[in-house]
Amino acid sequence: MASLPIFTKVGATGSPLTLEKGRFLPVSDPYKQRQLRGVAGGGQVKIADLGTADHFFAIRINRVSETFRTALIAFIQDPLVNYAMNTFTFTDEDATDWTVRYWDSSGLDLPHVRGNLYNVNITLKVEITS
């Protein structure tokens, strides 16, 4: 049986932070290649490979409590996490640990929905460790 995902950073506010629900299905974890593409004057395709593909987790959970929303904001803003500045551990539903960073360049937005609940839609970037 799958367990609920957890965000962990030793010493950070609210850590470990267990998500109220599992991620919204289908779970997305795209790999984005790091390549520059172009076409030369004669029409030949030119590719510059910039290394290992970036791996992301889209965390999408609908209708969470205001208490969880507040705890998530406190965790992401904690100086030990500080948005994308520092890594933390994301433990997925299969109990696999991933070293990740918060990766939303547009900021943290948790829309308020009916029933005094909130939707979570954030992106985590898996840290390249090798």
Confidence of residue 130 (pLDDT cuts 50, 70, 90): low
Give the C-alpha separation, 112 to 115, whole Å.
9
pLDDT for position 1: 45
pLDDT for position 53: 84
Confidence of residue 23 (pLDDT cuts 50, 70, 90): confident
Whether residue 103 is contained in a domain is answered as yes
User: For 38, phi and psi rounded to 5 degrees?
Assistant: -160, 175
Residue 71 has pLDDT above 60, yes or no: yes
Whether residue 88 is contained in a domain is answered as yes
Task: Give the helix, strand, coil percentages of the chain, each rounded to 5.
Answer: 10, 40, 50
Q: By C-alpha distance, which of 121, 117, 116, 88 is closest to 106?
A: 121
Whether residue 121 is contained in a domain is answered as yes
Q: Which two tokens stand for residue 57?
A: 């987790």
Mean pLDDT value of segment 61-82: 95
Whether residue 1 is contained in a domain is answered as no
Average pLDDT, the chain: 89
Q: By C-alpha distance, which of 19, 60, 14, 10 is closest to 2?
A: 19
Whether residue 97 is contained in a domain is answered as yes
Whether residue 14 is contained in a domain is answered as yes
Give me the CATH number covering residue 31.
2.40.30
CA 86 to chain CA mean position, Å: 13
Mean pLDDT value of segment 102-116: 91
Confidence of residue 113 (pLDDT cuts 50, 70, 90): very high
**Structural domains counted in the chain:** 1
Whether residue 81 is contained in a domain is answered as yes
Domain hosting 97: range is: 6-126
